[in-house]
Amino acid sequence: MLEFTREDLRKLIARQEQPCVSIYTPLHLEMPEAIRNPVPFKRLLSEAERQMVDAGYSASLAAKIVKPGRDLLADYGFWQQRSIGLAAFLSAYGFYRFRLPIAVTERLVINDRFYTKPLLPLMSGDGRFYILAFSQNEVRLLQATRYGEHRLDLKGIPANMQDALQYEKLERQLQYHTYANQEGGRTAIYHAQGGPQDEKKEDVAHFAEVLAKRVSARFGNESAPLLLAAVDYLQPMFRAHATYAHIVPEGLHGNPEALSDADLRAQAWTKVEPMLTKARSAALSKYNELKAGNLAARDPQKVIPAAQYGSVETLFCEVDTELWGTFEPNTNVLETHSSSQPGDIDLLDMAATQTLLNAGTVFALPREAMPDPSPITAVFRYPV
């Protein structure tokens, strides 16, 4: 299962067809509890189907929506993968599920949009980081938070040195030239160059180079820290070819093969935490400096419309709080309610989502860590 990214968020928000079913459930890592991981998910699927029928949707539509989730219950391989949380999103037009390195509370939400706020710690400025643990025999890529981790599909990244050398050999061999054929056209001709590397140190150097390039390409516009775990001589080789801008300066040294995923995450956190804390502290300081003027605000009536219009640079929101209501962009009318009413959405969820989709930064914080006594505050890109 791949990591949850802004592009995934964009796809989910693009699906606005009613009804949208969002399911969150915690997962156990250890036996014998782990064998029961599908049970809560199965129960929530049944509850979702019942609620949709009670809300007036046809039984056939409700059954169609939950069917991919029921099919997942039979996927033994999926439930064998380790993670501490599961998020599933179902509608008549798609099924998306994500294994999570964060703990989530069991939750079922049926609305006209998917409910994504529990995923904010994965998208926030201080929520997640990555670990690349590599040796000549094995490559692992982990997505992690302070509280958990899960292993990602390599998807184009070599699994070991032999695999990387095959990538490198193929790239060298698939050089081609063209020639004019008899009809005046041009035809691609592929030909091999070079032979097998006869020096082990050259193989290792090629391994590090291919790995660095593939990892950098995989991360694209990502901005979360990436920590390296490898023996001393491999790390500088990797860094020499990596173009990803957020590699942690000090990695974990030594062969990572003997370390479990959980061990890697625990050791990596000690090196990553100062970087993440620094980013949040800087954002909080900037808010406090600007809040007396028109470049920052704590009033939801001001912050939520600004987020919708792409004006928010940095957003702070309470992760465990909902602010129910409605917002009409065409008229700029925002209504908030003390409890959920028909047609309401969680306005904090909407504001955070729009901020992320407009390349802003979101910090999902507990109430006691918020910079002001408000469930949402923001720094603006320009005066609002």
Q: What is the DSSP string of 284-331?
A: HHHHHHHTTTTSEE--HHHHHHHHHTT-EEEEEEETT---EEEEETTT
- On whether the CB atoms of residues 4 and 122 are closer than 8 A, the answer is yes
CATH code: domain 129-277 is: 3.30.420
Q: What pLDDT, on the 0 to 100 scale, is given for residue 188?
A: 44
Domain coordinates of the chain in residue numbers? 1-116, 129-277, 291-384
Phi, psi of 377, deg, nearest 5: -140, 165
Q: Any idea which of 179-193, 227-241, 293-307 has the lowest mean pLDDT? A: 179-193
pTM of the model: 0.69
Q: Confidence band (pLDDT; 50, 70, 90) for 56? A: very high
Residue 185 pLDDT greater than 60, yes or no:
no
Contact 314, 289 (CB under 8 A): no
Q: Residue 226 belongs to what H/E stretch? A: strand 226-230
CATH number, span 1-116: 3.30.960.10
Cβ partners under 8 Å of residue 186, min gap 6: 178, 179, 180
CATH code reported for the domain at 291-384:
3.30.1330.30
Distance between CA atoms of 351 and 117, rounded to whole angstroms?
10
For residues 283 and 199, which has the higher predicted lDDT (pLDDT)?
283
Q: Rounded mean pLDDT of the chain?
A: 87
**Structure token pair of residue 361:** 């930064």
Four-point Cα dihedral 343, 348, 353, 356, nearest 10: 160
Q: What is the average pLDDT across 130-147?
A: 93
Are 371 and 287 in contact, with CB atoms under 8 Å apart?
yes
Number of H helices, E strands in the chain: 11, 18
Mean pLDDT of the 247-264 span: 95
Gap between the Cα atoms of 250 and 262, Å rounded: 19
Distance CA 234, CA 179 (A): 42
- Which pLDDT score is estimated for 126? 56
Cis peptide before 19 (omega within 30 of 0): yes
Name the burial class of residue 185, with classes exposed (0-12), middle (13-18) and buried (19+) by CB atoms within 10 angstroms of its CB. exposed
